Chain A
Amino acid sequence: MAETRPGAASRIIRWIDHRLPFVAMLQHELYEYPTPRNLSYWWNFGSLAGIMLVVMIVTGIVLAMQYTPHADLAFDSVERIMRDVDYGWMLRYAHMNGASMFFAIVYIHLFRGLYYGSYKQPRELLWILGVIILILMIMTAFMGYVLPWGQMSYWAATVITNLFSAIPVVGQGIVTFLWGGFTVGNPTLNRFYALHYLLPFVILGVVLLHLIALHRFGSNNPLGIDMKGPQDTLPFHPYFTIKDLFGLTVFLLIYAFFVFYAPNFLGSADNYIPANPMQTPNHIVPEWYLLPYYAILRSVPNKLFGVILAFGSIFLMFLVPWLDTSPVRSARFRPIYKWVFWLLVIDVVALAWVGANPPEGLVVTVGQLATFYYFVHFLILFPLLGKVERPRPLPLSIATAVLQSGGAQLGRAGASMANR
């Protein structure tokens, strides 16, 4: 960019760049950056997640200019945004549905990692940073949901903060400390607001580390084999910038549909009732992206053990690079794990269904089975499969694998190759 612009502008840029190599860094990390040429559309979700983080921060800041973080005024301030602030309804719905989109994208991104072994050596730290981002997102989303101070806001806050009372001896003390009072109340709301504003910037920092870790060894790819030379790669720009932009427009279609035509589909009607500390809603349900953890929590009859397993289900993710013993990365070459992976996906959807429904009858049974399977999958199947499975032979290189399919994939303008 600098070289082709004539005169004073390019000289100024070169002067700055010599002292703070920002443009040179962009040039290397975003333009020339060698990317495996066989990436599929499952690799779009990382950049989508980054974009959603920016969207959430920008909509959040603008909403923060109009929101009042006081128990008596919060609900009304949100309604004021919806009714009286120009475009307020759009910003609110964008922020609300943006959270759901953000989680959907991150979950797909995570499962992509599980399928293709993106967490394996040398990308263990990349994976761990990702799990940290997920945990920070969950905390941010939970606190954000409290802010409108609806019935669900208040009671979800009560139930989830009460989880800490399961800790023996100090539990109740911790809960009182978290609340800043004897129940969820105005002090709780204020501190959640401060933290909800803060954490996204912490996430931003961890995302930066995540990208640095990524660029250390480059992206994984659907074959799971390392890039061996320039014949295996394409420069990020223009190939993957345009592919990411295309993926972005498709995603925006879905996002816009929710924002403009079904803005409350993913939410709970109860949250349009102002919080009433004297009356619990009939069914306390978290947002969909927290349902699996909620299901695990409720599946265990013992309170403390339920809390441990629910939190454990996420913290277990940290251990994935070491739980999986397979020498092969991509599930494409793992004939058994290829199917077992889908069992996990079905399991998580089942857990979400369990979490959405009152704990009676079939729901309880499914919940217990699904919780059991979840831990079996990671703690038993992961280590076992790696040892027992006979992986299919890996191709020699990315380029040879691509050429072997006749080059026809790439010849068709890369579309079907990208679709694998």
Chain B
Amino acid sequence: MANLADQHVTGAHNGETRRDFLILTATAIGGVGVAAAIWPFIGSLSPSRDTLALSTTEVDLAPVQVGQRLTVAWRGKPVFIDHRTPEEIKAAQDVDVSSLRDPQPDSARVKKPEWLVIVGVCTHLGCIPLGQKTGDDRGPFGGWFCPCHGSIYDTSGRIRQGPAPANLVVPPYEYTGETVIKIG
């Protein structure tokens, strides 16, 4: 733009450098202004405050008995909470990790061994595996069974059989009390 402005200046030599500086400044200010003006438009597309308010969920674990499973909603998805029995814990820990499709020891997937917290979305194509309700088919490993394409998870939520490529995801969570966790 500066070049063309110069082309139209025929024979005006005085103040040319000052004119260039002014035009440069004006262009710079214009550029900054446009960038600053565009920012809110793009920013408005990020998750809004009401969505962010639901980005964490607190769960009180006290009412969940040993052997019981609880499903809670977190960021629009189900989270499976399993108060594991000693047998389930042992079964999870006794597995040869190197034989797993997605090798992970049970200790890497829990904070306290009697509580398993995993996202209840099958890593194959996103169905919700069965196993949370009494009477549900839990599959041969006593974990979870996905009815869509037959993925089978163990008592640590790891993939053992079927088409899913990875273990059920462990969401970020922390204990905010003895029996209270905050997910997310």
A and B touch in the complex (CB under 8 A): yes
Q: Mark A64-94, 1 if CB is under 8 A from B, else 0.
A: 0110000000000000100111111011000
User: Which residue of chain A has the shortest Cβ distance to B53 in the bound complex?
Assistant: A84
Contact B3 A84 (CB under 8 A): no
When distances are taken between beta carbons in the complex, the residues of chain A under 8 Å from B41 are 58-59, 62, 87, 91
The number of chain A residues touching the other chain, given as a range, is: 20 to 34
Q: B interface vs A, CB < 8 Å?
A: 1, 3-5, 8, 26, 30, 39-41, 43-46, 48-51
Q: A interface vs B, CB < 8 Å?
A: 1, 4, 31, 58-59, 62, 65-66, 80, 83-88, 90-91, 235, 237-238, 242, 245
Contact B4 A62 (CB under 8 A): no
When distances are taken between beta carbons in the complex, the residues of chain A under 8 Å from B43 are 86-87
A215 to chain B minimum Cβ distance, whole angstroms, is 19
Contact B48 A84 (CB under 8 A): yes
B39 to chain A minimum Cβ distance, whole angstroms, is 8
- Assembled-state Cα–Cα distance A90/B41 (Å): 9
4 closest Cβ pairs, A-B complex = A87-B40, A84-B49, A84-B48, A84-B50
- Assembled-state Cα–Cα distance A4/B8 (Å): 14
Q: Name A31's contact: one of B4, B30, B45 (CB within 8 Å).
A: B4
Q: Name A238's contact: one of B5, B44, B50 (CB within 8 Å).
A: B5
- List 24 interface pairs A-B (beta carbons < 8 Å), by A numbering: A59-B41, A62-B44, A65-B44, A65-B45, A66-B44, A66-B48, A80-B48, A83-B49, A84-B49, A84-B50, A85-B48, A85-B49, A86-B44, A86-B46, A87-B39, A87-B40, A87-B41, A91-B40, A91-B41, A235-B8, A237-B5, A238-B4, A238-B8, A242-B26
User: Which residue of chain B has the shortest Cβ distance to A238 in the bound complex?
Assistant: B5
Given known contacts A237-B4, A238-B5, A245-B26, A87 and B44 CB-to-CB distance under 8 angstroms:
yes
A237 to chain B minimum Cβ distance, whole angstroms, is 6
When distances are taken between beta carbons in the complex, the residues of chain A under 8 Å from B3 are 4
- Assembled-state Cα–Cα distance A352/B170 (Å): 65
